[in-house]
Structure 1
Amino acid sequence: MKAQRTRSQERILQLLKNVKRAISAQDLYIKLRKSNQNMGLATVYRSLEALKLQGEIQVRTLPNGESVYSSIHQDQHHLTCVNCGNSIPIAECPVHDLEHQLEQSHHFKVYYHTLEFFGVCDRCQLAQDA
């Protein structure tokens, strides 16, 4: 049985679906305030945590430690530069079959997975070589 969502959770989930990209809790809070949806920052964080635990949204931690949130459209995978922090989404998913195998063998319901490679992007490589 799915957990009953609060109005705050519904508003946040709808905004994440409309934004169609990962966004920080602070940026989410600012967008809500600008659209006259008064909600405290603590409520934003509580709602994001509840939605994450329900498997409704996914969280990604950037190299600088900041968490960004997005609705679960599909698996998200990235190449992330440790120098400039730029993240390049990649479409390939080499672990999709593994996810299904793990669900079967461990009787574990996977909500989503992320795959992230860390390195140095082409622009930073050029700057280092200069």
Structure 2
Amino acid sequence: MEPTGKRMTKQKKVILDILRNTKIHPTADWIYAQARKVLPDISLGTVYRNLGVLKEAGEIMELNYGSTYSRYDGNPENHYHFVCLECGRITDLEMAVHYELEKEAEAGDCGEVLYHRLEFYGICKACHQQRQN
């Protein structure tokens, strides 16, 4: 018997597929709405539970920007994000992750750095264009 959370249940697979096939960094509610199209009887609690299990397993990332809800990223590899302060859109940035920042932080005697996250904040192209009109 596999340890709890290790088995790929039908619900977990649907949630992971949804996240791996979108770039919008959705909320749990959005994921729930999409999952119900495939599994009409899935509950919001099941979605939250499986998001937690997938996060703990390193399959997804939870992005929390201090708002009342988290966003989720189907790409668990360390990468940077751009957050639009106007519409809230979160975009993956196609740029190298600078792991030397971790060494610099450790050299500052903060302790052992396990990983880092970096976000850039501003106005996305779509919102900037709307401002111009």
Q: How does the TM-score come out when normalised to structure 2? A: 0.66
Partners of 1:33 and 1:63 in 2: how far apart? 27
Change (3 A) 1:88 1:70: closer
Aligned to 2:12: 9
Change (3 A) 1:115 1:35: same
How many pairs are equivalent? 124
Residue 24 (structure 1) aligned with residue 24 (structure 2): no
The one-letter code matched in structure 2 to 1:61 is N
Change (3 A) 1:82 1:34: same
SS of residue in 1 equivalent to 2:61: strand
Partners of 2:129 and 2:66 in 1: how far apart? 18
The one-letter code matched in structure 2 to 1:54 is A
Change (3 A) 1:82 1:12: same
- Select 2:47's aligned residue among 37, 44, 49: 44
Change (3 A) 1:88 1:10: closer
- Select 2:37's aligned residue among 34, 39, 43: 34
Q: Identical aligned pairs, as a percentage?
A: 29
The one-letter code matched in structure 1 to 2:18 is L
Partners of 1:119 and 1:14 in 2: how far apart? 30
The one-letter code matched in structure 2 to 1:117 is F
The one-letter code matched in structure 2 to 1:82 is L
Instruction: Looking at secondary structure, tell me which structure has more strand per residue.
Output: 1
Structure 1 residue 72: Cα displacement? 2.2
Where do 5+ consecutive residues of structure 2 fail to align?
Answer: 106-110
Residues 20-76 of structure 1 show CA distances to partners (whole Å, capped at 9, x for unaligned) of 542211111111111235211011101101111111110113574431112225433
Q: RMSD between aligned alpha carbons?
A: 3.5
